[in-house]
A and B are shown apart, each in its own frame.
Chain A
Amino acid sequence: MQASLKSKHVQHDATRKVRLQEWWFRNRALIGYAFIFPWFAGFIIFDAMPFIYNLYLSFTDYQIGTVSTPPWIGLDNYTEIFTEDKLFGKSMYNTLYYLGYSVPLRLIFAFFIALILNLRVRGMELYRTLFYVPTVVPLVAATVIFAGFLNTRYGFLNQFLVLIGAAPVRWLSSPDAIKPSLILLSLWGFGAQMIIFLAGLQSIPDDLYEAAAIDGGTGWHRLFYITVPLMTPTIFFNLLMGLIGGFQVFEQVFILIGTHGGPLQAGLVYMLHVYNKAFRDFEFGYAAALSVILFLIIFVLTILLVYTSNRWVFYGDAQDDET
């Protein structure tokens, strides 16, 4: 500041430019704040305020007709969810069922195929692409494709089953088959995890395997004593992301079987219940309470997983830099 005050003589552009640069140089922090400002503004408007307001809403009876301040009803929404709402238990069960199969199966398929692709056989790039391409298909398109693919009369799967002499299945209209259909659709996208595993596998240094080979280790030894331990951070990452995403499964179900969740509501997942309460029944307060419960479940689960990860996740990566 002083520098600019002292300069009473005529400034040509060059010196002014230098002054400006000096000023900025000393006030880098301001630039830092300026650079993160758009993100921070977004954080306040689209994250922090909605999060807090959502919490508040969950204690109110905000409905479609509510004009001014929504009436505060304390824990009523929560008591209703836990005591009266049959669909809460149902949708939670459906979601857990979906998660319980789709997340582990995706990880197993992804890890297994990534291991094979990592053997560096000829044509590996082609196979990698073929396994990955389904994940490039937009979710809406993938779901619509599965709706046709699993169509009772005209879908590929049933026509194929008939061809080999098996009985066709009412994939999307029988309560027993809805959840398996959703899991099938989810498995079609295991390439996303596979590619992450593959990147992880390729970063394992070769000399570790060479050392093991010199010591007389077999293929299984290498797999269980080198590959799997070194891959635990990636497995952990995929598991956590899979669970967080799986709890919020929505679009596939919405498109594949509609908002009601299909016959006997066998496909009513948790997010669909939240969506129906908010955007069909317009019970925003109630839906907010449902969403808070889902948040708490995801939050506690994340904490538990991170906390217990010390026991099985191996972070001794040699090429790790700080953070």
Chain B
Amino acid sequence: MIEDPRSKMVRHIMIYAILTVGAIVMMVPLLWTVSTSLKTRDKITIRRLELIPDPIAWENYPYLLEARPIIQYTRNTMIIVVASLFGAWVPCTLAGYAFARIPFPGRNLFFGILLATMMLPYVVRLIPLFLFFDEIGWTRTFGPLILPRLLGHNAFYIFLYRQFFRGIPDDIHDSARIDGCSEFGVWWRIFMPMSRPVLAAVSIFAFSFAWNDFLNPLIYLGSNKELWTLALGLNALQGFEGDDNSLNLIMTFSMLMIIPMLVVFYFGQKHLITGVTASGSLKG
């Protein structure tokens, strides 16, 4: 296409202007968080905009680790994360493999059920599940948070795996089977190693959903401070309007929750998009 160079330049300037202004607006809350997390207590109560704190209160970080049981919160959160990753790696991939590769009577029916559960809002299961776990004495324990995750109770992950596995050529599967490889062997030796992108994508989801979960820990662990997760700890630190003296520490805590997510995202971003689009999830 032939384009007038002047109008092309104007267009470019407009594009960059929109993107830059937009990006600044999006980043301001985060920059403010970083800045506030490094402010001393008397600095936060000054009613004046000050983006670069003076002095920089690095001590907020070690102070918070000492003042709040951050290590314990992290350990508790990691227990849920690990259960979630196990579920995402083993039972979910097996189910995805079966739905993609093993013909068995009723497969379409089961798969239909799986899809239907993806649309089932959590709210209609919340109360009975709570009553059930209460009945068997599991409230105030990790049980309700761990058991569903260990079983790989996530239709979305299974769906993503299934879509990805269907994209692996039949020949590979068939030749392995003819060579006497069991289904389990095909899954473990061939499909799992070939599925790194989708495994990475699902692992990121599993990590972040477990790391960010708030409602379930709130309901089941809310009254047992020993088992609080980072999300619960952060929420408890937050005061409401009028009680803002620890705004800096709240932001320090927020940063502690954000940084691991940024690291996971940084290493996984390449896979996040390829994994999900390769699974064709958007095409249904």
Contacts and interface: CB of A to CB of B under 8 A. Distances in A.
Nearest to B229: A140
B57 to A, nearest CB: 15
Interface string A117-159: 1010100000101110110111111001111110111101001
Nearest to A320: B283
A234 B284 CA distance: 10
Interface in A287-320: 287-288, 291-292, 294-295, 298, 302, 317, 320
A295 B121 contact: yes
Contacts of B85: none
B28 interface: yes
Given A113-B22, A154-B44, A320-B283, A50 B129 contact: yes
A131 B117 contact: no
Contact of A144 (B44, B128, B235, B261): B235
Interface stretch (A75-83, A100-108, A196-204): A196-204
A165 interface: no
Interface in B223-271: 231, 234-235, 238, 240-241, 244, 247, 250-251, 253-254, 257-258, 261-262, 265, 269
B153 A42 contact: yes
A247 B121 CA distance: 10
Contacts of B15: 116, 119, 121
Given A121-B12, A291-B127, A295-B123, A131 B49 contact: no
Nearest to A134: B26
Interface string B111-129: 0011001011111111111
Contact of A287 (B117, B127, B241): B127
B120 A188 contact: no
Interface string B1-26: 10000000000100110110011001
Contacts of A224: none
A97 interface: no
A19 B199 CA distance: 33
Contacts of A156: 28-29, 32, 49
B180 interface: yes
A140 B212 contact: yes
Interface in A30-66: 30-33, 35-36, 38-43, 46-47, 49-51, 53-54, 57, 62
B142 interface: no
A28 B280 CA distance: 27
Contact of A255 (B30, B123, B219, B235): B235
Nearest to B231: A140
A279 B258 CA distance: 29
Contacts of B55: none
A222 to B, nearest CB: 11
Contact of A138 (B12, B208, B247, B273): B208
A88 interface: no
Interface residues of B, number: 95
Contact of A42 (B94, B152, B177, B218): B152
Given A33-B104, A138-B212, A162-B47, 10 more contacts: A39-B92, A46-B148, A51-B128, A136-B265, A153-B244, A188-B26, A233-B284, A250-B215, A271-B123, A295-B123
Interface of B: 1, 12, 15-16, 18-19, 22-23, 26-30, 32-33, 36, 44-45, 47-49, 91-92, 94-95, 97-99, 102-105, 107, 110, 113-114, 117, 119-132, 148, 151-153, 155, 158, 177, 180, 182-184, 187, 208, 211-212, 214-215, 218-219, 231, 234-235, 238, 240-241, 244, 247, 250-251, 253-254, 257-258, 261-262, 265, 269, 273, 276-277, 280, 282-284
7 contacts: A28-B102, A36-B98, A138-B231, A140-B257, A144-B238, A144-B254, A148-B250
Interface of A: 18, 21, 24-25, 28-33, 35-36, 38-43, 46-47, 49-51, 53-54, 57, 62, 113, 116-117, 119, 121, 127, 129-131, 133-134, 136-141, 144-149, 151-154, 156, 159-160, 162-163, 172-173, 188, 191, 195-196, 199-200, 203, 213, 233-234, 237, 244, 247-248, 250-251, 254-255, 258, 271, 274, 278-279, 284, 287-288, 291-292, 294-295, 298, 302, 317, 320-321, 323
Q: Which 9 A-B pairs have the closest CB atoms?
A: A32-B104, A35-B98, A42-B153, A50-B128, A29-B104, A32-B102, A38-B91, A50-B125, A130-B23
